[in-house]
Structure 1
Amino acid sequence: MKYLLLICFLFQISAISANAQAYKYHTVKKGETVFSISQAYDIEEEDIYKYNPDAKSGIGVNEKLVIPIQEGQNSNASAGVKFREHKVQKKETLYSLSKQYEVSIDDIKRYNKHLYAEELESGETIRVPVSGTIPVNKPVASQTSQSKPKSPQDLSRTREHIVLPKETKFGIARKYGMTLEELNELNPKVDVIQPGMMIRVGTNVLEDEPVIITDERLRFYEVKPQETLFSLSQRFGVSQDSLKRLNPALEDGLKYGMILKVPEKENPDFNEEDYAFAEGAADIKVDLENSLSNFSTKEIAVMLPLHLDKIEQDSLESYRNIVLDERVVRISLDFYTGVLMAVEEAKSLGISTNLKVFDTKRQASEVANIISANNFSNTDAVIGPLLQETAEAAASRLENRNIPVVSPLSNREMRGYQNLLQARPTDEVLRKAMMDYIVRNSSGKNVIVIADGTNFRVKSELGNRLPSARFVNPVDKVVKEAQLKNALMPGANWVILESDNISVLSSATSLLNRLAREHDITLLTTNKNSTYEDDNISNMHLGRLKFHYPSVDKEYDTTTSQEFIDSYKARFGNEPNQFAVRGYDLSMDILLRLASAENLMESFQRYPGYTEYYESKFHYLPNPDGGFMNDAIYILKFNEDLTISKANDF
């Protein structure tokens, strides 16, 4: 029932979108390809495949294709213009291509609109208009608004510039109000710039350049760990945009160790503690509902692999079968129900949300198409995509716009984009937290480590941090009783079990369960992997052994969340599962943070403690490679009655 309701809702979204769309037929001519047709109509290839799925197998002469035409779009915008396809090679630039094909950079961008917002990438294929076939009648407004070319006299007045780390030709040219062509003309022998290199630049500055201080009042500053662009703007009393103008390298994101040009004097009212991630703040719980102040409508984009392209106009049953057969789609729909519940709950607190849902189809290329075809300029946050590759694709495309992309479920190590927030702690974060817990509470315990060969790194770290620990090595994937008995001592025994092999885990837990009749034994692990869910591992044994492990989610407490469960059942017909609750927790946290600060990044600084909801908690710290990572986890333990509770420090 829940899936049927969601399918109908998503189908309505799809239908509404289609009804607002205009179409025309295109008859395929000899030599035409899907790519050339898409370029002729100024649309993406995926738009053609969406309405002509058979085109993926090829198109033939005189075949009719359905072409979507946006309202107001001129389908003959490229009429009469001839194109050649060009695959971008390494070190090629728009300037070099304009020279090679004798066309202007603006004309190349005109027919490859993504280049207005993105850099030219090696390996991509663009279309270059053939010189002589390009319309020359341009609007007067466009001509008058363009800045006049610099005269030879202007270019003769130059100064020297020392290239700083992370600076690019594009950034340097913009900084001095020059074009790339002019910069290259002043430095004809400089192909690739390097830090410390001295080059010639102009002396003029763009009229709209927000220069707020003169060079005499500047100094160099080395970025410290965990500093952010927001905290630096507060430290030096300048806007973030001004810092970026002074330091073009910041367009690629702030990095630890970067050398920045900043004002000589710092803001006297700046308090570093207010903007740093305080030591020990992860132990302080924050209730953001008590700090709501920003009640502007929140623009949220949700990217999930819904595969809406598989919905047939005359049959929802086929899509329902897809949902039942494909786990990722089921997870996406469950997660989305949680998002909807959070939006509704936030509304009761006065937080309005404009929610836009996009279908990623589990493809990074589709994510790129979504971002290119839609306006994300006012977006406060993107929730999703679910998978690592698609989440990284979204973060990469939106990084230069400072739009946060929140990866909700991936626990893999991800690339360090400045705008990427990893909401699910990685396995390494879990392992480290559990290791710290063991070391912190091991005093007075007889610690025994059982680790197989694949876990040698954890074994080695435990040995270094717990010098008095005893080690029992499995033999032929089995833990021997004699070895384990010899390692046990009177009093409290902590046994740390590190393996994902069913034979090792089964023999160890069974043996420890028997020995627990005569010894005080607590079982712990830094990695509760899926093998613990095997039928050969007895939960009764784990309960008797007071099994401790790290977890992203705590046990769902129905006594404290009955109202949520009842509301969910009333809306979707059954109780929420872990992905629905995760969708609610994460979305509610994002909406509350946006309503209690100017943006997500500022909320991390303003409220350095952790937030907690039905199953999850969140505490974001800067990732050394860029972006932010949630390091808030639970240490859980099995009880003899087979319940699971949070473990407190002893």
Structure 2
Amino acid sequence: MNRLNFLVVLFFLATIAVFSQNKKHIPYTVLKGETVESICRKLTITPYTLLQLNPDIKEGLTEGQLIIVPNKEYKPELDTQVEGDYVKDGFLYHKVLPKENYYRLRKQFGVAKRILRKHNLALRTGNLKAGQIIKIPIKAGAKMAAIATPETKDTKPYLVRPKETKYSIATRYGITVEKLESLNPDLKGTVLKMATIINVPNTEAIPDANDDFMTHQVEKGETLFGLSQQFKISQEELITLNPDLEDGVKEGMLIRIPKTTLGANTSIFVPNIPENTHLKIAMMLPFMSNKSISFDSNAEDKKKRKAAKRLNRVTDFYLGAMIALDSIKKQGVSVSVNVFDTENSIATISSILKNNRFDDVDAIVGPMFLNNVKFVSQGLRIDSLAIISPASSKDHSVFASKSMVKEVPSDELLANKVLDYIKRNYTGQHLIVIADDEKENAPRVNRIVATLNTLDSVQKVAVLKPEKGYIKLDLFKEAIQEKKENWFILITKDDV
């Protein structure tokens, strides 16, 4: 080996040594015949430490099993001393003084009683005692001048098991994939590998398979009160099941909900996505790249204004679809998308079908407009291929196959659903129909009003229609009955 190669190898080994020293925990492969006790003797650690790092080994070890152990080469930074107490891993370890109570602790350290109980199991069942060592989380604004840059770590090591993904691990600990990546910056843009040790929240994991609970992802605007009302569970129970809720409800959080609290008619979607799922999507939309379109609202040419309005709808749909696909990716699904401009032309669509393979595509989103959808459906005839027809509420039954997915229900279906709901729930309310003055809509209005008038105890359905483009306020006042609950039924094709 020449001198240059020798130096490169030395540098490589030195880099590995430095890197390993910076890892607080490392993976360890269990050898034949090894037990918890023998491993602890070998590594000079206590069984408590080993079990704390690997709660799943209580039932025993097997040869070849990967576990987490402390790294002997790890060289932690010296703890910061604060007035006799000490700081470690983002906590102040404080010895309770005689006559010290929660009020004094809050005044001195700026921490509430509930936060102390959250981080100190002994305080949940007992009171403060002199000489007791308690953990106080360090946070911005804490009244400890001696700490210039407090740590904010509240994590524990986790050993990645076979077939686990970022999404599955994030779900187990009630966080988003983004939060998991923020705890582990090296994971961003990479595939999670087995036997990697990563940081996860220092909380109890949500069991992988538990029929008694479901996982709910908090949406924007949801509150603790709203969640308790939605799932018929007290706020205290929610916090007990999800301790992180004590710090507030945050968008994207994954929380546990007992299934026993859900009513019989409650329908909640629980994602059950198999590992290593890959979706191949083709999107066919009329972007009209072959034409010049003016977005001037004052343009005199009605065709140009109509084309601009249509393109706005297409781009809005496209952006919404991309957001939905991005959401699917965050749940661990690999998605590939091919986008085609149909130019709203049968000839262009025919060329797309002829020059591209679709036998390995899972779904086609589009094309828009009924005739185009019909052409694609009849031109491909692949049973395993889902064709999603967007934006059209017209009848697809003439050509639709089993794999046809219609995004917008027909007006007739919506009307029948509303009528069914009223029939099931009507108990004497006053019914008021608001209809437009379009002649083509008149038969539908008359049919629905006639159906409503057949309900028991209905005197007569009030019908309001616009005159010269609007309905007068006095007509509303006359139609409304003050001593009854009023139900309004809107029957119109006018978006306004």
Q: Normalised by the size of structure 1, how large is the TM-score?
A: 0.30
Q: Normalised by the size of structure 2, how large is the TM-score?
A: 0.39
Give the number of the structure whose residues are more often helix, by fraction: 1
Bigger RCO of structures 1 and 2 (CA < 8 A, at least 6 apart): 1
